[in-house]
Amino acid sequence: MLARDSIQQRGSAKIGCLIAGGVVLLMVVILALTFAGRYNSLVTLQEGAEAAWSEIDNQYKRRYDLIPQLVSTVKGAADFEKSTLESVTEARASVGRAQLPPGLPDDPAKLQSYIQAQQGLGSALGRMFVVVERYPELKANQNFLSLQDQLEGTENRIAVARRDYIDAVRRFNTAVRSFPTNFVAGMFGFEKMPQMQFAEAERETPQVEFDFGND
Protein backbone atom coordinates (compact mmCIF):
# COMPACT_ATOMS: atom_id res chain seq x y z
CA MET A 1 0.00 0.00 0.00
CA LEU A 2 2.81 2.36 0.92
CA ALA A 3 4.62 1.60 -2.34
CA ARG A 4 1.45 2.27 -4.31
CA ASP A 5 0.95 5.60 -2.49
CA SER A 6 4.56 6.53 -3.20
CA ILE A 7 4.13 5.78 -6.91
CA GLN A 8 0.93 7.83 -7.02
CA GLN A 9 2.65 10.73 -5.29
CA ARG A 10 5.53 10.64 -7.75
CA GLY A 11 3.05 10.49 -10.60
CA SER A 12 1.12 13.44 -9.23
CA ALA A 13 4.37 15.37 -8.79
CA LYS A 14 5.33 14.71 -12.43
CA ILE A 15 1.92 15.83 -13.62
CA GLY A 16 2.23 18.96 -11.48
CA CYS A 17 5.65 19.69 -12.95
CA LEU A 18 4.34 19.15 -16.47
CA ILE A 19 1.42 21.51 -15.82
CA ALA A 20 3.71 24.12 -14.29
CA GLY A 21 6.12 23.75 -17.20
CA GLY A 22 3.26 24.07 -19.67
CA VAL A 23 2.02 27.22 -17.96
CA VAL A 24 5.52 28.74 -18.03
CA LEU A 25 5.92 27.78 -21.70
CA LEU A 26 2.53 29.29 -22.54
CA MET A 27 3.48 32.52 -20.77
CA VAL A 28 6.79 32.65 -22.67
CA VAL A 29 4.97 32.13 -25.98
CA ILE A 30 2.41 34.83 -25.14
CA LEU A 31 5.19 37.21 -24.11
CA ALA A 32 7.17 36.48 -27.28
CA LEU A 33 4.11 37.03 -29.47
CA THR A 34 3.36 40.28 -27.65
CA PHE A 35 6.91 41.53 -28.16
CA ALA A 36 6.85 40.46 -31.80
CA GLY A 37 3.57 42.27 -32.34
CA ARG A 38 4.85 45.45 -30.72
CA TYR A 39 8.09 45.26 -32.70
CA ASN A 40 6.24 44.78 -35.99
CA SER A 41 3.95 47.67 -35.11
CA LEU A 42 6.94 49.95 -34.57
CA VAL A 43 8.48 48.84 -37.87
CA THR A 44 5.21 49.57 -39.68
CA LEU A 45 4.92 53.02 -38.11
CA GLN A 46 8.55 53.79 -38.89
CA GLU A 47 8.10 52.76 -42.53
CA GLY A 48 4.99 54.94 -42.71
CA ALA A 49 7.01 57.94 -41.54
CA GLU A 50 9.77 57.12 -44.01
CA ALA A 51 7.28 56.98 -46.88
CA ALA A 52 5.72 60.30 -45.82
CA TRP A 53 9.14 61.97 -45.58
CA SER A 54 10.13 60.58 -48.98
CA GLU A 55 7.04 62.21 -50.51
CA ILE A 56 7.89 65.56 -48.91
CA ASP A 57 11.47 65.29 -50.15
CA ASN A 58 10.35 64.38 -53.67
CA GLN A 59 8.01 67.35 -53.91
CA TYR A 60 10.58 69.77 -52.50
CA LYS A 61 13.10 68.50 -55.07
CA ARG A 62 10.54 68.90 -57.84
CA ARG A 63 9.97 72.54 -56.84
CA TYR A 64 13.73 73.09 -56.55
CA ASP A 65 14.25 71.75 -60.09
CA LEU A 66 11.44 73.84 -61.60
CA ILE A 67 12.78 77.17 -60.35
CA PRO A 68 15.67 77.64 -62.84
CA GLN A 69 13.17 77.29 -65.70
CA LEU A 70 10.85 79.76 -64.00
CA VAL A 71 13.61 82.31 -63.41
CA SER A 72 14.82 81.93 -66.99
CA THR A 73 11.32 82.53 -68.34
CA VAL A 74 10.67 85.52 -66.09
CA LYS A 75 13.98 87.09 -67.08
CA GLY A 76 12.58 87.40 -70.58
CA ALA A 77 10.04 89.97 -69.43
CA ALA A 78 11.09 93.53 -70.06
CA ASP A 79 12.43 95.29 -66.95
CA PHE A 80 11.29 92.57 -64.55
CA GLU A 81 12.26 93.48 -61.00
CA LYS A 82 15.81 92.30 -60.49
CA SER A 83 15.46 92.19 -56.69
CA THR A 84 12.57 89.74 -56.95
CA LEU A 85 14.57 87.35 -59.11
CA GLU A 86 17.56 87.65 -56.79
CA SER A 87 15.33 86.86 -53.82
CA VAL A 88 14.10 83.64 -55.43
CA THR A 89 17.61 82.65 -56.53
CA GLU A 90 19.07 83.25 -53.07
CA ALA A 91 16.20 81.39 -51.38
CA ARG A 92 16.85 78.42 -53.66
CA ALA A 93 20.56 78.54 -52.79
CA SER A 94 19.65 78.54 -49.09
CA VAL A 95 17.66 75.36 -49.60
CA GLY A 96 20.67 73.79 -51.30
CA ARG A 97 22.87 74.67 -48.34
CA ALA A 98 20.37 73.23 -45.86
CA GLN A 99 20.04 69.82 -47.50
CA LEU A 100 19.66 66.87 -45.11
CA PRO A 101 21.39 63.47 -45.27
CA PRO A 102 19.42 60.65 -46.94
CA GLY A 103 16.76 58.91 -44.87
CA LEU A 104 14.60 60.13 -42.04
CA PRO A 105 15.76 63.32 -40.31
CA ASP A 106 17.24 62.61 -36.89
CA ASP A 107 18.54 66.05 -35.88
CA PRO A 108 15.77 68.47 -34.78
CA ALA A 109 17.91 71.58 -35.35
CA LYS A 110 18.91 70.54 -38.88
CA LEU A 111 15.32 69.58 -39.72
CA GLN A 112 14.04 72.96 -38.54
CA SER A 113 16.74 74.78 -40.51
CA TYR A 114 15.78 72.81 -43.61
CA ILE A 115 12.08 73.54 -43.19
CA GLN A 116 12.76 77.24 -42.62
CA ALA A 117 14.81 77.36 -45.83
CA GLN A 118 11.96 75.67 -47.72
CA GLN A 119 9.46 78.12 -46.25
CA GLY A 120 11.70 81.00 -47.30
CA LEU A 121 11.73 79.66 -50.85
CA GLY A 122 7.95 79.31 -50.84
CA SER A 123 7.58 82.92 -49.65
CA ALA A 124 9.99 84.22 -52.32
CA LEU A 125 8.01 82.38 -55.00
CA GLY A 126 4.78 83.84 -53.66
CA ARG A 127 6.21 87.36 -53.88
CA MET A 128 7.39 86.69 -57.42
CA PHE A 129 3.92 85.65 -58.55
CA VAL A 130 2.46 88.80 -57.02
CA VAL A 131 4.92 90.92 -59.00
CA VAL A 132 4.05 89.01 -62.18
CA GLU A 133 0.58 90.57 -62.01
CA ARG A 134 2.15 93.75 -63.38
CA TYR A 135 3.57 92.00 -66.47
CA PRO A 136 0.85 91.07 -68.99
CA GLU A 137 3.38 89.49 -71.37
CA LEU A 138 4.25 86.90 -68.72
CA LYS A 139 0.59 86.17 -67.98
CA ALA A 140 0.19 85.37 -71.69
CA ASN A 141 3.40 83.32 -71.95
CA GLN A 142 2.49 79.64 -72.34
CA ASN A 143 5.77 78.42 -70.90
CA PHE A 144 5.26 80.58 -67.82
CA LEU A 145 1.65 79.41 -67.45
CA SER A 146 2.78 75.77 -67.63
CA LEU A 147 5.39 76.36 -64.94
CA GLN A 148 2.80 78.19 -62.87
CA ASP A 149 0.47 75.18 -63.04
CA GLN A 150 3.26 72.76 -62.17
CA LEU A 151 4.36 74.81 -59.18
CA GLU A 152 0.79 75.22 -57.98
CA GLY A 153 0.32 71.45 -58.03
CA THR A 154 3.67 70.93 -56.32
CA GLU A 155 2.84 73.39 -53.53
CA ASN A 156 -0.42 71.59 -52.86
CA ARG A 157 1.29 68.19 -52.79
CA ILE A 158 3.91 69.59 -50.40
CA ALA A 159 1.14 70.74 -48.06
CA VAL A 160 -0.55 67.32 -48.11
CA ALA A 161 2.74 65.45 -47.70
CA ARG A 162 3.74 67.69 -44.80
CA ARG A 163 0.45 66.98 -43.02
CA ASP A 164 0.86 63.23 -43.58
CA TYR A 165 4.41 63.29 -42.25
CA ILE A 166 3.41 65.19 -39.11
CA ASP A 167 0.68 62.62 -38.45
CA ALA A 168 3.02 59.66 -39.12
CA VAL A 169 5.69 60.99 -36.75
CA ARG A 170 3.08 61.71 -34.09
CA ARG A 171 1.80 58.12 -34.26
CA PHE A 172 5.31 56.68 -34.11
CA ASN A 173 6.42 58.88 -31.21
CA THR A 174 3.25 58.06 -29.28
CA ALA A 175 3.93 54.34 -29.70
CA VAL A 176 7.56 54.72 -28.63
CA ARG A 177 6.45 56.37 -25.39
CA SER A 178 3.48 54.08 -24.66
CA PHE A 179 3.56 51.07 -22.31
CA PRO A 180 4.52 48.30 -23.02
CA THR A 181 5.78 49.25 -26.49
CA ASN A 182 8.36 51.56 -24.89
CA PHE A 183 10.20 48.47 -23.56
CA VAL A 184 10.41 46.98 -27.06
CA ALA A 185 11.48 50.35 -28.48
CA GLY A 186 14.28 50.59 -25.92
CA MET A 187 15.45 47.03 -26.56
CA PHE A 188 15.66 47.48 -30.34
CA GLY A 189 16.84 51.09 -30.56
CA PHE A 190 13.67 52.80 -31.74
CA GLU A 191 13.95 56.47 -30.77
CA LYS A 192 11.59 59.42 -31.04
CA MET A 193 11.67 61.22 -34.36
CA PRO A 194 12.09 65.00 -34.55
CA GLN A 195 8.80 66.65 -35.43
CA MET A 196 8.28 69.53 -37.84
CA GLN A 197 7.48 72.74 -35.98
CA PHE A 198 4.86 75.05 -37.47
CA ALA A 199 2.52 77.70 -36.21
CA GLU A 200 -0.95 76.27 -35.60
CA ALA A 201 -2.40 78.04 -38.65
CA GLU A 202 0.25 76.42 -40.88
CA ARG A 203 -0.81 72.90 -39.89
CA GLU A 204 -3.81 73.10 -42.22
CA THR A 205 -3.68 71.88 -45.80
CA PRO A 206 -4.39 74.92 -47.98
CA GLN A 207 -5.14 74.81 -51.69
CA VAL A 208 -2.47 76.93 -53.36
CA GLU A 209 -3.67 78.82 -56.42
CA PHE A 210 -1.48 81.23 -58.36
CA ASP A 211 -4.48 82.89 -59.97
CA PHE A 212 -3.81 86.19 -61.65
CA GLY A 213 -7.13 86.54 -63.43
CA ASN A 214 -5.90 85.16 -66.73
CA ASP A 215 -8.45 85.21 -69.52
pLDDT tens-digit series, residues 94-119: 999 999 988 899 999 999 999 999 99
Q: Does position 215 have pLDDT exceeding 50, yes or no?
A: no
Q: What is the mean pLDDT of residues 171-196?
A: 92
3-state secondary structure of 178: coil
Q: Tell me what pLDDT residue 37 has.
A: 85
Q: Grade residue 180 by pLDDT with cuts at 50, 70 and 90.
A: confident
Residue 70 near residue 151, CB atoms below 8 Å: yes
State if pTM tops 0.85: no
Helices (H), 178-196: 181-188
Residue 162, pLDDT > 60, answer yes
pLDDT tens digits, residue range 132-148? 988 988 988 999 999 99
Confidence of residue 25 (pLDDT cuts 50, 70, 90): low
Q: Which residue has the higher pLDDT, 83 or 211?
A: 83
User: What number is the average pLDDT over the span 4-17?
Assistant: 61
Q: Which of 21-30, 95-104, 169-178 has the lowest mean pLDDT?
A: 21-30
User: So what's the pLDDT on residue 171?
Assistant: 96
Tell me phi and psi for residue 155, to 5 degrees: -60, -40
Domains of the chain and any CATH numbers: 2-203 (1.20.1440.20)
CB burial of 53-65 (b: ≥16 within 10 Å; e: otherwise) equals bebbbebbeebbe
Write down the pLDDT at residue 183.
Answer: 87
| pLDDT of 61 strictly over 80 | yes
- What pLDDT does residue 18 have? 67
Which of 3-17, 155-169, 192-206 shows the highest mean pLDDT?
A: 155-169
